[in-house]
């Protein structure tokens, strides 16, 4: 049994740059969290229906892994893929909290795409998998590329590797299920002030450690104030940054003695 790790991410900064139809365009620094991940593998099954085994609280049709399967099948028209999924379930050991701004669902989808591509020898390039992933969700391409740190822009489809040493984080996730569309809608209706291109370019060049030590959490993430207004039960935490649309907070891990 081959196991694959689907890592979480945090947004070092997240700024809105404009609108594209119903979507917002962004510039953001995504950094992989190497200590927090889901584990995925395939397991034989006896019924032909698509099956995901794991602790999920959504219908299978809404699951990002199922969406990844449908998009991969549409892109490849692979009989090998459809036959494989009739005979194997996708198993997921969940560790990344849902509705938390940590990219768990997107990471699972990206990892599933890689699993199928490798084990079924579909022959797709990373770039092709990223295009398929973008149809599943805005954050999926970042996870497809597998970078530890990257500047992400557009609506998530533009992923540019950022060369820096990965950081270690402490993460806390309040028991609040935050709706990303609700936070974006509040931002659009009440707080819409897109960043100018010069400031966006400056942030894209800054190392993550400098951003976290010189910029205030509310200034680093445009969605943080919108999330606080949308969810009054969400409380600011002094010195903690906000990831994505939340609800997770993170900060640099304190070095330990010895």
Count of CA atoms in the C-beta half-sphere (13 A) of 106: 27
pLDDT digits (tens, 9 = 90+) for 44-95: 999 999 999 998 877 888 899 999 999 999 999 999 999 999 999 999 999 9
Give residue for tokens 């609280």.
Answer: 57
pLDDT at residue 256, rounded to an integer: 60
pLDDT digits (tens, 9 = 90+) for 142-162: 999 999 999 999 999 999 999
Integer Cα distance of 34 and 30 in angstroms: 13
Beta-carbon contacts of residue 243 (< 8 Å; ≥ 6 apart): 9, 10, 11, 100, 101, 102, 171, 221, 249, 250
Residue 258's pLDDT band, with cuts at 50, 70 and 90, is very low
Q: Which residues are catalytic?
A: 9, 139
Q: Which domains does the chain have, with CATH numbers?
A: 4-161 (3.30.230.10), 169-252 (3.30.70.890)
Is the pLDDT at 257 greater than 60? The verdict is: no
Task: Measure the N-to-C terminal CA separation of the chain; round to a whole number of Å.
Answer: 38
For residue 236, give both structure tokens: 């600011």
Mean pLDDT of the chain: 95
pLDDT at residue 22, rounded to an integer: 85
Higher-confidence residue of 98 and 57: namely 98
**Residues above pLDDT 70, as percent of the chain:** 98
pTM for the structure as a whole = 0.94
């Amino acid at each position: 049994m081959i196991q694959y790790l689907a890592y979480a991410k945090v947004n070092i900064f997240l700024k809105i740059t404009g609108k594209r139809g119903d979507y917002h365009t962004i510039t953001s620094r995504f950094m992989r969290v190497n200590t927090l991940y889901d584990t995925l593998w395939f397991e034989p099954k006896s019924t032909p229906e698509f099956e995901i085994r794991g602790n999920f609280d959504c219908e299978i049709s809404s699951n990002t892994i199922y969406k990844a399967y449908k998009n991969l099948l549409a892109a490849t028209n692979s009989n090998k893929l459809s036959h494989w999924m009739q005979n194997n379930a996708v198993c997921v050991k969940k560790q990344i909290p849902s509705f938390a701004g940590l990219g768990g669902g997107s990471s699972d989808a990206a990892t599933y795409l890689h699993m199928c591509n490798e084990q079924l020898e579909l022959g797709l390039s990373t770039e092709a998998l990223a295009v398929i992933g973008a149809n599943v969700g805005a954050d999926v391409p970042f996870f497809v590329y597998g970078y530890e740190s990257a500047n992400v822009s557009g609506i998530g489809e533009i992923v540019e590797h950022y060369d820096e040493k990965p950081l270690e984080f402490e993460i806390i996730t309040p028991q609040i299920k935050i709706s990303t569309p609700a936070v974006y809608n509040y931002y659009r209706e009440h707080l819409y002030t897109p960043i100018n291109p010069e400031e966006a370019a400056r942030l894209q060049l800054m190392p993550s450690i400098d951003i976290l030590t010189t910029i205030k959490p509310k200034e680093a993430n445009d969605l943080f104030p919108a999330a606080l207004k949308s969810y009054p039960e969400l409380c600011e935490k002094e010195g903690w940054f906000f990831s994505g649309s939340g609800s997770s907070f993170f900060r640099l891990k304190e070095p330990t003695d010895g």
